[in-house]
Amino acid sequence: MSPFLLLQLWACLGAAITENSHNTQNCDASTFTAPDVPSAKVLSITAEERRNVDMPAAPGLLNPITDLNFCDIKVYLTHPGTNDKVLVQTWLPLSEDLWNGRFQATGGGAWATGMLDIGLGPAIASGYAASSTTGGYPFDFFSADWMLHKDKSINWDLVHNFATRSLADQVYVGKSLAEQYYGHKPSYSYWNGCSQGGRQGYMMAQRYPGLLDGVMAAAPAIRLPSVFLFGIWPIVAMNEAGTLVSNCEFDWFASKALEECDMLDGAKDGVMGDPEACTSFDPLNYIGQKMECSGLEILVTEAVAEAVRRVHQGPTTPFGVNVFQGAPYGTPLNAFLSITIDSNGVRTLNDPSMLDTFPRTILLRHSKFNFNVSKLTASEYFSLWAQADEEFGWILNSDNSDLSAFRDSGAKLLSWHGTNDHTIPHRNTITYRQHVERDIGGAKAVDDFYRLFLAPGVGHCGFGVGPAPKDPLEELIAWVERGEPPETLASEIKNQEGELVTRNLCRYPRTPKYLATGGMNNASNWGCEMPDGEEEGGFAAELKDNLKQAGLGLD
């Protein structure tokens, strides 16, 4: 199940949060004055002490949290001339001895600007003063209706909140409330988010340098309109190839890629250490082979193999232009697709409606046009892509590669991305990092303030078969506060046998290599190596690949 589906389920369990409340002298609206928020006006402030709060677990993402005690402050503000009403919710540990002296701004997910309790609970449990925001519309992961006025025109004020403005607002509000409550400013301030929250973290670095000391941004949706349309690409690719490919068949091809490339990192451990090194795998080589799906013996046809190839290639125009890089071979692709084969061999695409929120609601404005994502042609798809980039790229993309102001502020950006991420392929984060290297002065200069780590076998914000980072925010704190830049990220997972598997994720562009001594499940028996010819980092490799593709490469 997708992490966001689990988080939506978690949100629905909000009634399970229990508490006993008491009033105190400090946690009261009279304690606080209106924070100074640029270009915004505070409408109201309420404060309530909450004790013994328990929060349910989100399996695979969040552990259960018990006995939280905090001051819950709700600040409503508006941006003059917009008629919006935005909630910024801040939780503060009840006493200073429970506060770690830091502030944490928590990110959102999918269509939610902030995740409120879901993000605030873990932050408070770790001793932070923390904030989250609604962006001015009701909390919902999967609905984009808030982006439209009643007449179906775009509500650009709320889009502005979602894209950039509310991100900074919650930092101004949260830091001010913490200072008022404890009598002094937070020692350090951080951003913490994944996916949409990752995009927001990159946006904070690009648009608001100096507002935070550190940004932890995982699996960032850097080119957001492209990410929303990327989910539809497998359907378009299969339509162009002339066949549907079932979940079972995708899983079979993923297993074949793993068989072919698992040992490239020196260990046969069920995880592809560097998917970019898996250059020999080609679905077309498996034409004519057989597999078993739903009790049927399925023959790999040219159409099926070509569909798999196109899906993994990513959105590519009829002219051969790859506009968004796809997920590497070996990545499971059945989280959103639901294609089955019945006993007669009939292939069925089951309810892809979750994928069409952006084009149907926003690009087509719920028009009477009979939009059917399962029938979308390549020309129609790329027409929507161009429209999305033209109308929304300027405000929703966080791909400005000039991070010089962020660098000069002394802040640090730590980012990680799973290589089995089917929602936002990690290659797109690599591309952004390479562009920063191009604009800032090379890999070594960028490493001084921005480091990227890839997590082999890990899916979107977690899950998958590979070890995920244990606490990347703590690694960021060590970098910011003690001048200890992370060379690796400690990661772990329990395998199918219940055994703990540990790894130290390698700093990009380094890749993991088994040292061939000791158990494969122990991080101490692995090292990191530089790809051949990449001493100066990833941009040199990108330039070399571009020259090669243009027929100008040197042997």
Per-position b or e across 399-408, b if 16+ CB within 10 A of its CB: bbbebeebbe
pTM (predicted TM-score): 0.91
Residue 434 CA to residue 530 CA, distance in Å, equals 15
Catalytic annotation, residues? 195, 421, 460
Tokens of 128: 């932070």
Reference 421, options 201, 163, 184, 222; nearest CA is: 222
pLDDT digit string, tens, across residues 201-258: 999 999 999 999 999 999 999 999 999 999 999 999 999 999 999 999 999 999 999 9
What does the pLDDT profile of the chain (555 residues) look like in tens digits?
Answer: 444 444 444 444 443 444 443 334 489 999 999 999 999 999 999 999 999 999 887 766 677 889 999 999 999 999 999 999 999 999 999 999 999 999 999 999 999 999 999 999 999 999 999 999 999 998 888 889 999 999 999 999 999 999 999 999 999 999 999 999 999 999 999 999 999 999 999 999 999 999 999 999 999 999 999 999 999 999 999 999 999 999 999 999 999 999 999 999 999 999 999 999 999 999 999 999 999 988 889 999 999 999 999 999 999 998 889 999 999 999 988 766 788 888 888 888 877 777 788 998 899 986 656 778 888 899 999 999 999 999 999 999 999 999 999 999 999 999 999 999 999 999 999 999 999 999 999 999 999 999 999 999 999 999 899 999 999 999 999 999 999 999 999 999 998 888 999 999 999 999 999 998 899 999 999 999 998 755 544 444 544 444 444 444 433
Tokens of 547: 């020259």
- 3-state DSSP call for residue 211? coil
Cβ 249 vs Cβ 304: under 8 Å: yes
Residue 9 CA to residue 118 CA, distance in Å, equals 11
Cβ 400 vs Cβ 206: under 8 Å: yes
Question: Which residues sit opposite 51 in a β-bridge?
Answer: 20
Question: Which residues sit opposite 87 in a β-bridge?
Answer: 76
Question: Tokens 């089995």, residue?
Answer: 420
Residue 34 CA to residue 24 CA, distance in Å, equals 20
- Farthest CA pair distance, the chain: 76
